[in-house]
Amino acid sequence: MKKLSVALVFILLIAIISVALESKPIANFTYEIDGYVAHFNATSSYDEDGFIINYTWNFGDGKVGYGVVVDHSYTEEGFYNVSLTVLDNSGLNNSTWQIICIDVSPPYTVFKTIPSIPNGENEWFVSNVDVTLIAHDNLSGVKETYYKINNENWIKFSGNFTINEGVHEINYYSKDNAGNEENIKSREIKIDTTPPYTLCFLSANATNGWYNEELNVSLESYDNLSGVDKTYYRIDGDNYKIYNKSFVISEGKHVLEYFAIDIAGNACPLQRKEINIDMSSPTISLATPYHGIYLFGRKIYTSAQTIVIGGITIEAYGFDNLSGVKEMKLYIDGEYKTNSSKSTIEYEWDEFAIGYHEIKVIVYDRAGNYKEMKEDVFIINLKWS
């Protein structure tokens, strides 16, 4: 009996040592996700001193499965702790686990600008615009964000970028780590930083800075981007008017001011033009000899007929209250004698002359207007030069 007990103990000891020397199987698996379906593969699991007889899966949603390769359909997005337990032919088991993400929703990207809203009129920016793209994904996380400007190539977003003047279409989208891709979004950015400009057209040309007729004034404004909204003008400090057709400026010294505003709200600098119009002829007066009897240069009697005995100094005056006198010319019997750039003219008439002669004086103003005056004179001057 004693020998039997020792033998049993020896057998049990050998069995325990044999079991202790056996190794556990190795549990390992890979997976791929396609939408809501996860494909699990445990072919990388193994047992060094035997073979695996059972693969038990816990899919993390309360469901279990069996087999080396299994598929499992999830009903909801989220994170799941998936475990695999393998059992070998010696009755030993081992487990491993991985967290998987079921993510079928694409990320979404928020488009932001600095300034945050158009700082001009009618949805136009009037300064360069900085753009940032902020992508969000609630599960697997954002992998990449891309954008392109107009028809340029796609660029991987890495930080703020600047949009300059012009009308631009910005396309953008993001990808998440689950492979979901956002539908391409688009935003239009309109930037006009350049003010319009206005040209002024007058219906006549000036002489010495003066016009001698009424002027028809036209204003033409131009803008290369947003377009001209309105053109304003005023004359001589009056209230501004909206320009919609040509207008007339009459005689006088005037100041025309005008400017334009484009649709984006840019205003061109105020332009100022002096417009001087003199439509009136200057006046002229013949001081001597005029309507009287003159004896050796002295007027001794007033009469309708001018009679001169001896030599005389011809003297005349010109006047113009707008553009001013530019020149005076004196003729005797149509023959040019002298001129003056002042508003007075003098000529010493002291040559031999008998009979009727015509004195003619012409005065010109700076606008090109002129006036002439004639005086018939009966003269007796026996001086021989």
Q: Are residues 133 and 187 in the same domain?
A: yes
Q: What burial class does residue 269 get, using C-beta atoms within 10 Å of its C-beta: 0-12 exposed, 13-18 middle, 19+ buried? A: exposed
Residue ending a domain, choose from 63, 79, 102: 102
Does a structural domain hold residue 12? Answer: no
Cα distance between the two ends of the chain? 188
What single DSSP character describes residue 164? -
Q: Are residues 85 and 44 in the same domain?
A: yes
Q: Are residues 290 and 356 in the same domain?
A: yes
pLDDT of residue 20: 47
Q: Are residues 126 and 185 in the same domain?
A: yes
Chain segment 335-383, per-residue pLDDT in tens: 999 999 999 999 999 989 999 999 999 999 999 999 999 999 999 998 7
Does a structural domain hold residue 11? Answer: no
Residue ending a domain, choose from 102, 124, 142: 102
Does a structural domain hold residue 253? Answer: yes
How far apart CA 118 and CA 325 sit, in angstroms, is 58
Complete DSSP assignment for 17-71: HHHHHSPPPBP--EEEEETTEEEEE-TT-B-TTS-EEEEEEE-SSS-EEESSEEE
Q: Which of 194, 238, 247 is nearest to 219 (CA)?
A: 247
Residue ending a domain, choose from 102, 133, 153: 102
pLDDT of residue 204: 96
Q: Are residues 184 and 206 in the same domain?
A: no
The model's pTM is 0.75
What CATH number does the domain containing 145 carry? 2.60.40.10
Chain segment 261-314, per-residue pLDDT in tens: 999 999 999 999 999 999 999 999 999 999 999 999 999 999 999 999 999 999
Does a structural domain hold residue 14? Answer: no
User: Domains in the chain: how many in total?
Assistant: 4
Per-residue pLDDT of the chain (385 residues; tens, 9 = 90+): 555 465 565 555 554 444 445 799 999 999 999 999 999 999 999 999 999 999 999 999 999 999 999 999 999 999 999 999 999 999 999 999 999 999 999 999 999 999 999 999 999 999 999 999 999 999 999 999 999 999 999 999 999 999 999 999 999 999 999 999 999 999 999 999 999 999 999 999 999 999 999 999 999 999 999 999 999 999 999 999 999 999 999 999 999 999 999 999 999 999 999 999 999 999 999 999 999 999 999 999 999 999 999 999 999 999 999 999 999 999 999 999 999 999 999 999 998 999 999 999 999 999 999 999 999 999 999 875 5
Q: Are residues 123 and 137 in the same domain?
A: yes
Segments forming the whole domain that contains residue 123: 108-191
Q: Are residues 139 and 177 in the same domain?
A: yes
Q: Are residues 44 and 82 in the same domain?
A: yes
pLDDT of residue 12: 56
How far apart CA 383 and CA 310 sit, in angstroms, is 8
